[in-house]
Structure 1
């Protein structure tokens, strides 16, 4: 008997690109009606305190097909609040992902079932793990990169990927879109 279920670290979809490539068509294809989005390095780089014009346009397109909530581990009301206000989105701070509590709160506010909601983020041990623990459809995206540190290799994320693979998680090619089929979700 394994002490940890490596499937909990396996996203349903590895986009292989930033969130800006998560199209309304992909959302419809997976029958999703709601998205819970991580903020730091998923929507904006850690150094930014506002969303780019590209993110604003992406949100405008996606909100036509899905409800959207921001759920962040970040505790900065000022920073996350400013980002959420610029996107006109509801948000929750201090999520402590992989805790499910605030994801559940966002999902309930959207009045959707777990299979209708995706957790979208750039980290396996927080975003994907939390989403899988709640039975959500999980989408792993590439981090948004601050142009000032464009050569940064995201060492924490790289360690998470290595540990996940070591534990037996099937992650495919992280740089290409990868869809995990027949993934069983915990109840």
Structure 2
């Protein structure tokens, strides 16, 4: 029933994703959500761990583009110190922003993965665009008011998906 919301993989955090794992699955580019995936929604500074992860991806030749529903000013301000390209006003759960991100990367949908913390937006948009997805745990356990409704619906969806797919487990790598 909720197959359009099923993530390809589930990782505990985006920082666990390595160039080696991506290469194993022929992934050459990363699209990622911003709030609660890369940075805490209420702390746009980011962490040293995030900067190291981005540097590792850059050294491996793997481009990272942020795909966010936020407005361009908010995304640009949050990414100033990280020097990442982005797609704002992505309209997730629709696939518009994901498709724009794939186009910016200059890759095919099969060569790209989308990483996000929400099934209702990130994973649904990825699946709609034919892009594999990685669901990660939110960085912080609080959400902006806009996200709280999605989280309630997400619990229902995840419970249903877990019953149908016993392989849906949090992992530390893509396997």
Other-structure match for 1:36: 31
Question: Post-superposition, which runs of at least 4 consecutive aligned residues in structure 1 deviate over 6 A?
Answer: none
Q: Is 1:8 equivalent to 2:15 in the alignment?
A: no
Structure 1, unmatched stretches of 5+, are 181-187
TM-score, L = length of structure 2 = 0.84
TM-score, L = length of structure 1 = 0.79
Q: Is 1:123 equivalent to 2:114 in the alignment?
A: no
1:101-120 correspondence runs (5 A): 101-120=96-115
Q: Once structures 1 and 2 are overlaid, which stretch shifts more, 114-123 or 96-105?
A: 96-105
Structure 2, unmatched stretches of 5+, are 143-147
Other-structure match for 1:161: 155
1:1-187 correspondence runs (5 A): 5-15=1-11, 17-63=12-58, 64-75=60-71, 77=73, 79-145=74-140, 156-157=150-151, 159-166=153-160, 170=165, 172-176=167-171
Kept in 1, the 8 Å contact 2:120–2:150? The answer is no
Q: Which secondary structure state, in structure 1, belongs to the residue aligned with residue 113 of structure 2?
A: strand
**Between Structure 1 and Structure 2, which shows a larger proportion of helix residues?**
2
Instruction: Give the drift of 1:65.
Output: 3.8
Instruction: Give the drift of 1:32.
Output: 0.4
Q: Matched residues in 2 for 1:123 and 1:49: separation?
A: 18
What's the CA shift string for 1:132-152, capped at 9, x where partnerless? Answer: 111101111111127xx6xxx
Q: Matched residues in 2 for 1:161 and 1:62: separation?
A: 32
RMSD value over aligned CA atoms? 2.5
User: How many residues are aligned here?
Assistant: 168
- Shift in CA distance, 57/32, structure 1 to aligned 2, threshold 3 Å: same
Q: Which secondary structure state, in structure 1, belongs to the residue aligned with residue 53 of structure 2?
A: helix
